[in-house]
Structure 1
Amino acid sequence: MKKYIPFIIIIVVVVLSFILPTTEVTTVTGVHLDTGDTAWLLASAALVLLMTPGLAFFYGGMVHKKNVISTMLQSFVCMGLVTIVWIVFGFSLVFGEDIGGIIGNPTTFYMMKGTLGNNSWPGMPTIPLVLFAMFQLKFAVLTPALITGGFAERIKFNAYLIFLTLFVILIYAPLAHSTWHPDGILAKMGVLDFAGGTVVHMSAGWAALASALYLGKRKNPSHSPARISYVILGTGLLWFGWFGFNAGSAGGANELAAYAFGTTTTASAAAAMTWMFFDILRGRKPSAMGACIGAVVGLVAITPGAGFVTIPHSFIMGVVAAVVSNLFVIWRNKTGIDDTLDVFPCHGVGGMVGMLLTAVFAYSGVNSDVTVNGLFYGETGLFIAHLIALVGVSIFVFGGSFILLKITDLITPLRVSEEEEISGLDATQHDEEL
C-alpha cells in the first residue's frame, strides 16, 4: 500500500482540480499595469526558476558518483510537485485572505481564481496578479530543494515526496504568509526580508539540520565529490538566477531593482574571495569548491537586505557571512552531525547572519519601506524585532520539520536500507546510473 501513496496524492490533486472555480476576468479600476515592470518580472521569474536546476548541479557535483542522479532529481522534482500544490491552494495559503496572521485562506485564490485580468498584488501594483503568483512560486520551489543537501545519499525518494509536500504546506506557507503578507505577524512586527533570507534560507537550513539529526549519519560519511565541474556550473547558474531572486523582488524595472542587483553582486564576490582567503590562512590550498560555496553564502546573506542596505554594507555582509559560515562548517565537521552538504552552516547560518546584519544596516535612504533604521544608524527597534523573529522562526521550523519527518516516517520509511545506501540511490531508487 505504501508504494502507492505518491499516486494517491496525484489522484487527490487531480480530483481537486475538477472542482474548478468560476473563471472571471477581473477588471479593477485605478490599476495601471506597467509593461516594463511586467517584462522584468517575467524575466525574473524565469531566472529564479533556473536556480533550482542550478542547485541540482551544485548539489549533484558534491555527492558520491552513485548518488548524483538521485540528488539532482530531488531538486528537479520540486519544479513539478510544488507547482501543483501552489496552483491548487498553495498561493492562497501564503497570499490569501489573512487568518490570524499566520496563514492565508486556501479558497481565496483556489486554482488561481481571481488572477485573470488586471488584478494585482498591493506590494507589486504594476504587474498582473498571476505573474506575481508565478514569481512567488519559484521561491516556494527552491526552498525544499535546498533542504535536500542535509539528508543527501540516504533518503527514500517516495518518502521525500511526502515530506516535501508537507513542508511546503505546513512550514513554508505559514512562514511566508507571516513575513510577506501585510497582515502577517512578522510583517506587523516590522521584520524585513527583501527576498527570502528568513522565508527561504533560514527555513531550509533549520529543516536540513532537523533532517540530518533525524536520519542519522551515513554509513560512509566521507566527502568525495563526483564532479567539481558540476559544482562550478551550478554556482554560475545560481549566481545568474539570483539576480531575478533579489532584483526581481523590487517589483519592477526601477532604481531599487538596480540597487539590489548591485548589492547582490558585491556581497557574493566579497564572500567568494573571503572564503578562499580564509582557507589559505588556515593552511589549506585555495579550491574551486571553497570559492563556489563562499559565493553562494554571500548570495544567501545579502538576500534579506538586498533592497534595504547600501553597497558598502553589502560588502561587509558578504565578508562576515563567509567567515561565520566557514567556522560553522569547521564546527560541524567536529560533531557527529551528518549534514551531508552543510546546508545548515551555509544556508541556515548564512541566512541568520544576513537577517541580523539587515537589522544592523537597513537604511531608509535606500528604501522608503524601512520605517526604522538599523542599529548602525542608532536605532534599536528593528534589531530587537529581528532577534525575536530569529528565535521564533528557528524554533518553529526546526521543531515543525522534526515532527513532519516523524509523520512521514510513520507513513513510509524515510531512510534507505544499508544495502541500498551502499549500492547507491541512483540504482536502488531510480534504476539509473550516471
Structure 2
Amino acid sequence: MEPVLAANADLAWMLAAFVFVLLMFPGLAFYYGGMVGARNVLNIMTMVMSTLGITAVLYVLFGYGLVHGETAGGLGIIGNPTGYFGLTDFMADDESGSVQTLYFAAWFILFAAITIAIVASGAAGRMKFSAWLIFAPIWLILVYFPVAHWVFAPDGFLLNTIKIHDYAGGTAVHMNSGVAALALAVVLGTRRRRGERPHNVPMAILGGGILWFGWFGFNGSCALGASFLTQVVVLNTLLSGCAGMIGYCIVERWREGHVTSLGMITGAVAGLVGITPSANTMNPLGALMVGLLASAVVAFLMSFKSRIPVDDSLDAFAVHGVGGIVGTLCIVLFAAESAPAGVKGILFGGPIDILWRELAGIVITCGYSFVVTWLIAKALDKTIGLRVDTETEIEGLDPTLHAESAYEIPSAGVGHGGLSGMSPARAAEAVEGALPSPSPTAATT
C-alpha cells in the first residue's frame, strides 16, 4: 500500500480511521484483561499498552525504512533501514490537504503495535515484564518488519513475486501474531493456574466491542480514502463480525450444550479476523460466509483446548492465526469478481493458481514467524530468563511486578482502606476471594 494524493474528504476519513485503530489498544487490553485471573489484569493490560511506545520509537528510527524502504538487493526480503531515518524527509507540507507519507508512518505504527500486542496472549500470567520489554522490540525487528515488507511494500516478494492477495494484514498481522503467540507459549510452558476462569466476562465483552469498533478503521483505512471501496469494506467488516457470532454459537451449542457470552464475542472477533485479508474480494453473501466459517473453525478448535499441551493463554493462535488462515482460504473459494478487488474464486470459475499462491503465503508466513519467534524466546530464556518464579506466579503479577492491584477491597468490611498495608500475598488472596469465578464458559483461560 503506497500513499496516494487524495481530497480533503479522504484525509478526514483517514484521520478518523486512525483514531478508530488507536482505540483498539485499550479494547484489546480490556478484552485480554477480562479473560485472565484477577491478580494478572494490570500486567496483561500493561503488556498490551506498552507496545505503542516500543513500536513508535523503532518505526521513527528505522522501522519505516525496513518495511517501506527500497528493498535490499532487489530480493523483496527487507527494506533499507537508513532510507527514512527519523522520518525527516516527510516534513514538507505540499498544502494540498492530501493523505501524505507522514500520515502513513503514523498509521503503520499502529498496525505494527497491535500485532505485537496480540502476541502477549502467549505470555499471559507468567512472563517477566522486563523480559517482555526486551522480547517485543527484538520480535518487531526480526519478525514483523520483514514479514510486513513482504506484504505491504510494492516490491515485497509475497506481494510482487508470489502475488498473494492480502487486503489488510491477514498474513503480516493476524497469522504472524497468532503463530508467534503459540511459539512464545511453547517456550514459556503452561501456567500453574491454567484452569483459571476469566475473572470479568463483561470486561472482556466490552473490550471485544471496542475492538470491533476499531476494526472499521483498521479495514476501512486500507481503502486509502473515502470511496466506494471503503463502503464495501466497512459493510463486509460488519457482516463478517455478525456472522462470526452466529457461527461460534452454533458450534458451541453443538459441542458444549450451551451458548456463552464470551463465546459470542470471541466468534465476532474471529469473523473480523477472517474478513481482514478478504474484505475487498467479497460481496455481502461472501462476507457472511467468511464470518461463519472462520468462527466455526475457531470454535471447533477451542473445544479441544484442554487437550492441547501448549498454553496459548488467550487464544491468539486459534482466533488470529487460524482465523486468518481461514479468511485467506475463503479468498480462494468465494472471491467475487464483482467485488472491488476483481479476484475470482475457484468456485466461481477462477484460476487454480490462486490456491498455491495463497497457500504459499500462509506456509511462508507461519513457518517463518514460528521458527524465528521460538529462537528469540529460547535465546532470551537461556540468557535473561523469560518466566517469573513460582512464588511470583502464584501470588499474581500485578502485586509482585507492578506493586498494584486492579481492585480495591474494603478492609474488614468497613470503609475503603483497600489493600494498603497488606503483603502482596495477602492482597492477592483478598482480591481472589472477593471475586467469585463466573459461570463456566466454553473458552477457559
TM-score with structure 1 length normalisation? Answer: 0.89
Q: 2:205 aligns with which of 232, 255, 279?
A: 232
The answer to whether 1:405 aligns with 2:377 is yes
Q: Distance in 2 between matches of 1:215 and 1:420?
A: 15
RMSD: 1.6
Following superposition, the deviation at residue 258 of structure 1 comes to 0.7
Q: 1:38 aligns with which of 1, 4, 11?
A: 11
Q: Distance in 2 between matches of 1:211 and 1:307?
A: 32
- Deviation track 1:177-228 (CA, whole Å, cap 9, x = no partner) reads 0011110010011111111111101001100110111111111211311211
The answer to whether 1:113 aligns with 2:84 is no
Q: 2:352 aligns with which of 380, 385, 388?
A: 380
Spell out the pairing of 1:157-168 with structure 2 (5 A cutoff): 157-168=129-140
Following superposition, the deviation at residue 415 of structure 1 comes to 0.3
Following superposition, the deviation at residue 364 of structure 1 comes to 4.0
Following superposition, the deviation at residue 281 of structure 1 comes to 2.2
Does the C-alpha gap of structure 1 residues 118 and 375 become closer, same or farther in structure 2, counting only changes over 3 Å? farther
Unaligned runs of 5+ in 2: 407-445
Does the C-alpha gap of structure 1 residues 222 and 356 become closer, same or farther in structure 2, counting only changes over 3 Å? same
Q: 2:76 aligns with which of 91, 101, 106?
A: 101
Q: Distance in 2 between matches of 1:119 and 1:96?
A: 21
Q: Distance in 1 between matches of 2:249 and 2:300?
A: 13
Q: Which protein has the larger Cα radius of gyration, Structure 1 or Structure 2?
A: 2
Spell out the pairing of 1:11-410 with structure 2 (5 A cutoff): 32-99=5-72, 100-117=75-92, 127-188=99-160, 189-368=162-341, 370=342, 373-378=344-349, 379-410=351-382
Q: Is the 1:119–1:129 Cα contact (8 Å) retained in structure 2? A: no
Following superposition, the deviation at residue 32 of structure 1 comes to 4.4
Q: Is the 2:286–2:335 Cα contact (8 Å) retained in structure 1? A: no
Q: Distance in 1 between matches of 2:71 and 2:132?
A: 30
Q: Distance in 2 between matches of 1:405 and 1:282?
A: 35
TM-score with structure 2 length normalisation? Answer: 0.87
Q: Distance in 2 between matches of 1:71 and 1:374?
A: 40
- Local SS of the residue matching 1:250: coil
Q: Is the 2:337–2:344 Cα contact (8 Å) retained in structure 1? A: yes
Q: List, as ranges, runs of 4+ consecutive aligned residues in structure 1 with deviation greater than 3 Å.
A: none
The answer to which of 218-227 and 161-170 deviates more is: 218-227
Aligned match of 2:395: 423
Following superposition, the deviation at residue 126 of structure 1 comes to 5.1
Following superposition, the deviation at residue 338 of structure 1 comes to 1.0
Q: Is the 2:171–2:361 Cα contact (8 Å) retained in structure 1? A: no
- Local SS of the residue matching 1:208: helix
Q: Distance in 1 between matches of 2:333 and 2:159?
A: 18
- Deviation track 1:217-243 (CA, whole Å, cap 9, x = no partner) reads 111211311211110110111000000
- Deviation track 1:262-285 (CA, whole Å, cap 9, x = no partner) reads 100000000112212221223432
Q: Is the 1:126–1:252 Cα contact (8 Å) retained in structure 2? A: no
Q: Is the 2:23–2:214 Cα contact (8 Å) retained in structure 1? A: yes
**Letter matched to residue 60 of structure 2:** I
Q: Is the 2:5–2:100 Cα contact (8 Å) retained in structure 1? A: no
Q: Percent identity?
A: 37
Q: Is the 2:333–2:345 Cα contact (8 Å) retained in structure 1? A: yes
Q: Distance in 2 between matches of 1:160 and 1:254?
A: 40
**Equivalent residues, number:** 398
- Local SS of the residue matching 2:121: helix
Following superposition, the deviation at residue 309 of structure 1 comes to 1.5
Q: Is the 2:126–2:387 Cα contact (8 Å) retained in structure 1? A: yes
Does the C-alpha gap of structure 1 residues 427 and 296 become closer, same or farther in structure 2, counting only changes over 3 Å? same
**Letter matched to residue 70 of structure 1:** N
